[in-house]
Amino acid sequence: MGQAMLSAIITKGISQPADISVSEIDEERRDLLKKDFGVYTTDNSIEVIEKSDVVVLAIKPQSLNEAMTQIGGKFRKGQLVLSIIAGKGIATLQNGLKHGAIVRAMPNTPAQIGYGMTVWTATPLVTEQQKARAEAILGAMGKQIFVTDEDYLNMATAVSGSGPAYVFLFMESLIDAAQKIGLAQDKAYDLVLQLMTGSVNYVCKSDKPLSQLREMVTSPGGTTAAALSVFASGNFTGLIEDAVTAAYNRAKELGG
């Protein structure tokens, strides 16, 4: 996700490669980032912090404590820290980094191809100018929404953050079902992929609510009605609600 953000920032002209520094412990990856993006790379995080106005934290959650031990207290007044670390709340970041101006963001997987949905929030010490910079950076990866309550990030994690996996699971299941009624795997894959792409684009271009679009496809006593009755008997909507609630509760647990 950090590389996706780096690519988006440069592609959208948010910042120039000469103005970007990346700290990466893996030498091979440092060389690759330098070659592909033309940015300055180092294995010294403190060096990057000292020369940056905005510091993006794009590390694995399990690496955060070690990182905070190294860089905590090294930030100066006026710097913005933007964290995309999953499950790590603002209080944890403030205490560990010993810094108050923090933006916490929850992007999702499609951000890697510029179709992301990012929900973010900021501490009171983040200035309006810094918020504008954060908005530009996150918006480069797709759509972004600012919220005032950090708990909305837990909600976003349960919906848009984990959501791609729900969609992929549905697609997998539909492809498997198509094969069981006789379709070849390649044809089933193409059918489902175009089904999802076309349906989403149709929703985006329509001014009708989803319920009405669904009803337009569902003729009484027809094939769609037969399928939807099976979904209803299996409490499909209830399962979705339970799944999202479970993800939300787990996000709160991980965030402390």
pLDDT digits (tens, 9 = 90+) for 154-173: 999 999 999 999 999 999 99
**What mean pLDDT comes out for the span 129-148?**
96
Q: Is the pLDDT of residue 123 over 80?
A: yes
Residue with tokens 């999802």: 196
Distance between CA 254 and CA 31 in Å, rounded? 33
Is the four-CA dihedral 121, 111, 204, 236 of positive or negative sign? negative
Q: Contact, 34 vs 142, CB < 8 A?
A: no
Residue 216, both tokens: 């337009």
Q: Where are the alpha helices (DSSP H) in the chain?
A: 2-11, 27-37, 45-50, 64-71, 90-97, 128-139, 151-156, 163-180, 185-205, 210-217, 223-233, 236-254
Residue 50 pLDDT exceeds 90 = yes
Q: What is the pLDDT of residue 256?
A: 72
% pLDDT > 90, the chain: 94
End-to-end CA distance of the chain: give it in Å, rounded: 23
| Band of pLDDT at residue 86, cut at 50, 70 and 90 | confident
Work out the pLDDT band at 246, boundaries 50, 70, 90: very high
- Our measurement of the distance from residue 220's CA atom to the centroid of its chain's CA atoms, rounded to an integer in Å, reads 39
Query: Could you give the 3-state DSSP secondary structure of residue 115?
Result: coil
**Where do the domains of the chain lie, and which CATH numbers do they carry?**
2-148 (3.40.50.720), 163-254 (1.10.3730.10)
- Cβ proximity of 248 and 154 under 8 Å: yes
What separation in angstroms does the CA of 74 have from each of 1, 21, 45, 98, 234?
A: 24, 16, 10, 8, 55
Report, as an integer, the average pLDDT of 211-217: 97
Taking alpha carbons only, the member of 71, 39, 66 closest to residue 55 is 71
User: What pLDDT was estimated at residue 149?
Assistant: 94
Task: Please state the rounded mean pLDDT for residues 19-28.
Answer: 94
- Which residues is 40 bridged to in the sheet? 21
What is the rounded distance in angstroms from the CA atom of residue 200 to the CA atom of residue 207? Answer: 13
Give the per-residue pLDDT at 200: 97
- Reference 67, options 111, 24, 110; nearest CA is 24
